[in-house]
Amino acid sequence: MSDETRPHRTAAVIPAAGRGVRLGPGAPKALRALGGIPMLVHAVRAMARSRAVSLVVVVAPPDGADGVRLLLDEHALPDRTEIVVVPGGETRQESVRAGLGALPQDVTSVLIHDAARPLVPVDTVDSVVEAVRDGAPAVVPALPLADTVKEVEPGKPGEPEPVVATPERARLRAVQTPQGFDRATLVRAHEEIAVAGEGATDDAGMVERLGVTVVVVPGHEEAFKVTRPLDLVLAEAVLARRRATDAY
Ligand SMILES: Nc1ccn([C@@H]2O[C@H](COP(=O)(O)OP(=O)(O)OP(=O)(O)O)[C@@H](O)[C@H]2O)c(=O)n1
Ligand SMILES: C[C@](O)(CO)[C@H](O)COP(=O)(O)O
């Protein structure tokens, strides 16, 4: 079967194996409550809300896959979406690779979505899926920046850092997830691109290093990443507003 006639199947991989150090002490971030429900459950529901996504692979903390499976079984999730749980790794990149390894043969495109972005709207998910299905090998949702950004020469902790450049803000975008990929392209990036230390901060960056074009579609303010304590305050407020106005 040629690529044009092969049926599309889209899966989402949710890396959820991080500790959440910047959020402060407590359970792994993905398991912390947002509106009384673990952040991970919100993220799985956000992917499952897209009719294009028929499989979600959750990448759990390395020693927590059984616990995450039990937790997901306790919450209502759509029957039409298959959910698989695998253990993750020490870096985000290792965790994503573990998720990719769990995909069945028939999956043609993959979304990688942070558990830490629990409130991404379904329209954002669908616009990423659509761009991949239309032929883009790599797609990221993104927003223009409100702040001016400086490039600095990192110095010693506590010392002022010299500014080396001010990139033109109009050309910058803050990138979110889900990031969508042609499966073969993303797998190749994870096989060929080695990133030292903490690993790559996003998957699209690895695909860029292959020399493959990554395109941007509009992101959404509510797809923000819960990273620090103030983000959790904002997420609770957004969720409370949704619950008051939607059947959420
Ligand atoms: N070894 C890791 C590290 C991160 N992640 C996941 O990657 C996403 C984005 O990472 P981030 O927001 O940085 O989460 P943490 O690594 O948990 O945060 P921190 O850096 O504050 O510890 C999260 O859903 C996180 O669970 C992962 O699956 N495996
Ligand atoms: C993938 C990502 O969410 C895109 O903005 C981001 O790079 C993740 O970074 P983190 O430091 O691992 O949270």
Q: What is the pLDDT of residues 97-132, one digit of tens each?
A: 999 999 999 999 999 999 999 999 999 999 999 999
Structure tokens at 23: 């959020």
Question: What is the tens place of the pLDDT at every residue in 195-230?
Answer: 766 667 999 999 999 999 999 999 999 999 999 999
Percent of the chain with pLDDT over 70: 95
Pick the residue whose CA is nearest to atom 11 on ligand 2. Answer: 201
Question: What is the tens place of the pLDDT at every residue in 137-160?
Answer: 999 999 999 999 999 999 898 999
Percent of the chain with pLDDT over 90: 89
Mutate to test the pocket of ligand 1, among 23, 29, 94, 97 (most ligand atoms within 8 A of CB): 29
| pLDDT at 83 > cutoff 70 | yes
Secondary-structure class of domain 10-138+176-246 per CATH: alpha beta
| ipTM of this complex | 0.96
pLDDT at 1: 55
Pick the residue whose CA is nearest to atom 4 on ligand 2. Answer: 176
